[in-house]
Chains A and B, each alone.
Chain A
């Protein structure tokens, strides 16, 4: 078993000016994920720090997305999938069967690689989640829609056309709409699976800026193939690779500034310098 412990230079991190002590929002303990007999992930141990951005990097097929999907039990949707070990959210194991999956997914939202707005108008895209969780009053919903779109840095662009289809927006705007949709149910953690890989460079930077803006209130995990993006946006980086059994393992976890300037593991070095992967 490999435990990814982290030596942090200080208990506060410099990404934001507000120097709050680091606290683990989520803790992954000895987690393995199986698809039938195949062990897709082996012995993952890591902390996800509150109000920080953690990037998961690694070559294709190393289990990054599987890991991300474990965090809000998306793997439950795959019939043969099974999780061993635990994932604690504020100290409570969310992998336990007794946990309410719907509540877990409200607390841990997700944004996908391709923007996937509902075929509804912009307003309804954002109001959909809160309505599902029982908010009915129009005034309340209006406030949530406006707040979420503002947080997603989309409000100014769409405030006069809230009743147009979400699909009428550009790709970058659609992705920000999906982020607004995720924020509308006030999650605590946001999982992002390659959120900018289908976007142009300007839209990509917009998403990255937005991540910086909202991380004060949320905890973000991002899977990315783009090393420069991981280096730019994240506070912590987890490097994954497959082992000889083709099972994903976390080989290094640390502060992003260390991973990209002086990684400890030769395989991380080779990956971030583009020598393999």
Chain B
């Protein structure tokens, strides 16, 4: 087969993206778990792990630059490499969201949670589930899956809506709870953004496989409309 070495390098690249993806997945789950248990040490560890995520992203970026410079990719290969550049940036940002949640936990110090966390862990679980399948679709260039996954963003948005309404109730009942409610709202917001970035990954996967560059409709606009 012609270009066997290049094929092997592309496969290795995809494997590396999966590694970065699983680091982001773990960070998201761990950040919410630490918050739920109010485990500050675990949150400190997430901040440390985020540096590893950033480093991994730069390593992959470097690998991509070398492939572009040395292999002069065209057509599908070019779309794959350009899109992978985008995808690793999305994954790195997901790591930042997890870091944000860890920072919130640390800043909350010894204050108790405003309420037991139920929907927030569900959001995290749904995010990770979507992300995992989006990355599998990316590796297999599975257009069907990539077209279906973004619709599940609605579930995350619904949970966010629910958390939002619930927290507003707390604030109305007791205005002193505003700071603690705000912290949790930020956590939920970060988790809501993760699902949006999963949609971006799906868009890239469709582009790699078909060359079609199209934005998948976001339901976020509807969410904001409902708030007004």
Binding site for B on A (CB under 8 A): 227-228, 231, 260-263, 268-269, 272-277
Contacts and interface: CB of A to CB of B under 8 A. Distances in A.
Most buried by A among B73, B75, B76: B75
Residue with the greatest number of chain B CB neighbours at <10 A, chosen from A263, A268, A275, A277:
A275
B69 interface: no
A261 B2 contact: no
B56 interface: no
Contacts of B1: 275
Given A274-B3, A275-B3, A261 B211 contact: yes
Contacts of A231: 74
B49 interface: no
A179 B79 CA distance: 36
Given A261-B211, A262-B211, A272 B2 contact: no
Contacts of A268: 75
Contacts of B227: none
Contacts of A261: 74-75, 78-79, 211
A175 B185 CA distance: 69
A268 B76 CA distance: 11
B75 A274 contact: no
B111 interface: no
B74 to A, nearest CB: 4
A204 to B, nearest CB: 15
13 contacts: A227-B74, A260-B75, A261-B211, A262-B211, A263-B75, A268-B75, A269-B75, A272-B75, A273-B76, A274-B2, A274-B74, A275-B2, A276-B2
B228 interface: no
Contacts of B6: 274
B77 interface: yes
B179 to A, nearest CB: 51
B181 to A, nearest CB: 48
A268 B211 CA distance: 14
Interface residues of B, number: 13
A172 to B, nearest CB: 22
Contacts of B74: 227, 231, 260-261, 272-274
B82 to A, nearest CB: 9
B78 A269 contact: no
A276 B4 CA distance: 12
B72 interface: yes
Contact of B76 (A227, A228, A269, A277): A269
Interface string B205-223: 0000001000000000000
A262 B2 contact: no
Contacts of A269: 75-76
B75 to A, nearest CB: 5
B78 to A, nearest CB: 6
Contacts of A260: 74-75, 78
Interface string B22-45: 000000000000000000000000
A256 to B, nearest CB: 11
A273 B73 contact: yes
Contacts of A272: 74-75
Nearest to A227: B74
Contacts of A262: 75, 79, 211
B76 to A, nearest CB: 6
Nearest to B1: A275
A168 to B, nearest CB: 35
Nearest to B7: A275
Nearest to A259: B75
Nearest to A260: B74
Contacts of A227: 72, 74
A87 to B, nearest CB: 30
Interface string B1-24: 111001000000000000000000
Nearest to A269: B75
Contacts of B77: 273
Contacts of B79: 261-262
A125 to B, nearest CB: 35
A130 B165 CA distance: 85
A272 B77 CA distance: 10
Contacts of B76: 269, 273
Contacts of A277: 2
Given A268-B75, A273-B3, 10 more contacts: A231-B74, A263-B75, A269-B76, A273-B74, A273-B75, A273-B76, A274-B2, A274-B74, A275-B1, A275-B2
Nearest to A262: B211
